[in-house]
Amino acid sequence: MKTIAFFDAKPYDREWFDHTNTHYDIRYLESKLTPATARLAEGADAVCAFVNDNGNAEVIDKLHAMGIRLIAMRSAGYSNVDFKAAYGKINVVRVPAYSPHAVAEHAMGLLLTVNRKLHRAYNRTRDFNFSIAGLTGVDLYGKTVGVIGTGKIGRAFIDICKGFGMRVIAYDAFPAKDAGIEYVTLDELFSQSDVISLHCPLTEQTRHILNEDAFAKMKTGVFIINTSRGALVDTEALLNALNSGKVRGAGLDVYEEEAELFFEDNSGNIMKDDVLALLVSRPNVVLTSHQAFLTEEALQNIAQTTFDNLDEFFENKNLTNEVCYQCELGKVVENCRKTRKERCF
Ligand code: NAD
């Protein structure tokens, strides 16, 4: 029986992985994967990791030295793995789609909450405060939403927005042909959108795609929704834009510096991250802790696809969901082995 070192395990992971597991010995570890904890994988055949685990070059080398040849990411995003370091040493697989609807629906939930101030209304009525002063929102109907990244989640979000009667414009570095999407330049998207929602991966090209320059080009009163990766937004620039009124509200499921904080109960600690403390203190910011994926359907799909990925690896088959540093470029690579249905190395 193959042993899987499962880092950053949470009760909901165990529930769905145990429910779906048929033939693996899963060593659940509460620790996140870091250079210091990598040794906990000693004796395992593969590592299973999540979005805030650290797959940097040091970790890759330590795992490789212990004989680990596979990291199975149980996430779609994989910006936390150093693929150049992994290439030739450790194959990396992921779960490319588990429920784009889960994330897209959460993005709309954030937009509705921050626009109609549902979080504030909830607190008021719990206190029998039935005043509605200060809770005015705007109709989404007829407004323009700018979607950055029109992959699986971006498109699910576009469909939801169309259901609300919104005009949809989009930017993608690799636009989908014949998808019936109105593509515009990034600058046009910034200047025309009443709502901007991020659905692209975090890469060197997209890091701080919403920065001071970008906020300067936006309409006053724009809503920002980020369910993708925290570092797509320069948080200090967002705070300035919230202060100036340029941004009317922000719904965030991710945060640049979330790795040490999210998925843990920090309620008994003094919050040392001043930027996060400032964000959370704003009445027009709604922050959730990277939970957009968290539906029963998504958890079931994550577990099943991860087991399928592990089976393919241990049965020496082609790795359907393998990613490498070339894939990360997001474009068709000449002589890509994956397109020939071979392993990346
Ligand atoms: P996807 O690969 O289907 O789509 C990503 C899209 O982004 C593609 O169309 C791609 O062409 C586009 N893109 C790539 N580089 C770009 C660039 N420089 N500028 C603009 N667009 C670019 O991915 P997906 O399944 O739709 O997921 C999108 C992102 O959502 C993931 O990368 C991940 O970061 C995030 N995500 C978050 C959660 C959560 O729980 N909050 C869960 C799953 C995924």
Domains and CATH numbers, the chain: 2-98+296-340 (3.40.50.720), 100-287 (3.40.50.720)
Give the angle subtended at the CA of 324 by the CAs of 318 and 326, to the nearest 5°. Answer: 115
Q: Is 58 a catalytic residue?
A: no
> What is the full per-residue pLDDT of the chain (345 aa) written as tens digits?
999 999 999 999 999 999 999 999 999 999 999 999 999 999 999 999 999 999 999 999 999 999 999 999 999 888 899 999 999 999 999 999 999 999 999 999 999 999 999 999 999 999 999 999 999 999 999 999 999 999 999 999 999 999 999 999 999 999 999 899 999 999 999 999 999 999 999 999 999 999 999 999 999 999 999 999 999 999 999 999 999 999 999 999 999 999 889 988 999 999 999 999 999 999 999 999 999 999 999 999 999 999 999 999 999 999 999 998 887 655 667 778 887 888 989
Ligand 1 pocket mutation, candidates 103, 186, 229, 327, criterion most atoms within 8 A of CB: 103
Q: Is 15 a catalytic residue?
A: no
Choice among 94, 106, 155, 258 that is catalytic: 258
172 lines ligand 1 (CB under 6 A): yes
Instruction: Tell me, in angstroms, the distance from the centre of ligand 1 to residue 84's CA.
Output: 20
Instruction: Tell me, in angstroms, the distance from the centre of ligand 1 to residue 153's CA.
Output: 7
What are the structure tokens assigned to 245, written together? 């009124």
Closest CA to 17 of 99, 91, 69, 74: 74
Q: Is 27 a catalytic residue?
A: no
Choice among 229, 248, 256, 322 that is catalytic: 229
- Number of other residues whose CB lies within 10 A of the CB of residue 247: 26
**Atom 42 of ligand 1, nearest CA residue:** 293
User: Which residue spans within the chain are E strands per DSSP?
Assistant: 2-6, 24-28, 46-49, 70-73, 91-93, 144-148, 167-171, 195-198, 222-226, 247-252, 285-287, 322-323
